Amino acid sequence: MVPALASSVRAAYDGKVQRIAERVINGALRGVFRVIARIDAREMRKLPRRGPGIIITNHTTNLEGPAEYLFMQPRHATALGKRELWDRWYTRMFMRLWGVIPLRRGEVDTRAVKQALRALDRGVYLGIAPEGTRSKNGVMRRGLPGIAVIATRKPVPIYPVAQTGFLTMGAKLRQFRRPSIVFRIGRPFTVRLPAGQRLTAPLMREITDEIMFELARLLPRASRGPYATAPEGAPRYLEYTT
């Protein structure tokens, strides 16, 4: 009994230390971002203070995910991150600090999906980049169907969050210019399947595209890629929550 109690006390102490360390590091990183760039994260206020919810975002660099996490604080959140981020000690440190869920790309990672669903059950926000990999020219790529799997299993609100400015950030900093980083949030929605309808591969594709069109609306037309022209009429499987 005594060893068990000691273990519980140690775990509680370690957890408290980690939370303090995270707050300090997050505050310092937010400060760095605000020094080197003009950050417009005012629309992050549209996010309810408590989850659960899914945040989908366009993916152009390795910076927008951490920046979104930092500027949506104090909301509790996690995200799916490519497994390769655990290969280097300095990125692994942040992945562990922020509780990011490792994802094996190029396959159906059932373990990552289960962890993501459990995170939503805990009432936190789950960040997903549905394109799966970075767009090096800033033009959206076609979304991968994993978002449809999670969204249909947990019909929580989905918040499209589009970012601009990260793609040219490096070039502007080399010219001693502060880039402008802007976050925009679209209308939240949920995904609903008719009763008894199975989630087939063609249906996953259709749902994924409907979700991606909501994200594309927040970007300049030249950056929307395959989602430049939205279909006419209301989405078949999305229900707006506001």
Give how far the C-alpha of residue 60 lies from the chain's centroid of Cα atoms, to the nearest Å.
13
Q: How many domains does the chain contain in total?
A: 2
Q: What is the pLDDT of residues 200-236, one digit of tens each?
A: 999 999 999 999 999 999 999 999 999 999 888 889 9
Same domain as 227, residue 125:
yes
Q: Which residue has the tokens 């989405």?
A: 235
Same domain as 194, residue 162:
yes
For the chain, percent of residues with pLDDT exceeding 70 = 94
Same domain as 75, residue 102:
yes
pTM of the model: 0.91
Same domain as 178, residue 105:
yes
Residue 218's domain spans which residues?
A: 39-240
- Please say if the pLDDT value at position 173 is more than 90: yes
Same domain as 128, residue 175:
yes
Q: Please, are residues 208 and 143 in contact by the beta-carbon 8 Å criterion?
A: yes
Average pLDDT rounded to a whole number, residues 135-163: 95
Residues 6+ apart with CB under 8 A from 40: 180, 181, 182, 183
Same domain as 236, residue 139:
yes
For the chain, percent of residues with pLDDT exceeding 90 = 83
Same domain as 167, residue 218:
yes
